[in-house]
Amino acid sequence: MKKFKKLTREDLKTVKAGQVWIAVTKCGFTATTTQDWTAEQANAWVDEIEKNYCKTPTYSGSDAQHLASNLN
């Protein structure tokens, strides 16, 4: 995984590209971008980050549905 530089308040003040978007995903991953996006585009970006970094487990030991499907 890439290392990200933690942006200071001063860094955020000097950004010239447009808005700063900060995403905190449901699995705790944090991402920052300075794209000049609409809110809809930023939400799509967050959804893609969650899809790539917050994988849902495919099996849980107490999940009867997956246990039953493995018997077939």
Q: Encode burial over 20-52: b for 16+ CB neighbours within 10 A, e otherwise.
A: ebebebeeeeebebeeeeeeeebeebbeebbee
pLDDT, tens digit, 9 for 90 and up, residues 14-34 = 555 567 888 888 888 888 888
**Identity of the residue numbered 38:** T
pLDDT, tens digit, 9 for 90 and up, residues 32-67 = 888 888 888 888 998 999 888 887 766 656 666 655
Query: Whole-angstrom Cα distance, residue 50 to residue 24?
Result: 9
Tell whether the model's pLDDT for residue 4 goes beyond 60. Answer: no
* Domain spans of the chain, in order of start: 1-54
pLDDT of residue 69: 58
Residue ranges of alpha helices (H) inside 1-72 are: 9-13, 39-53, 64-71
pLDDT of residue 33: 87
pLDDT of residue 1: 45
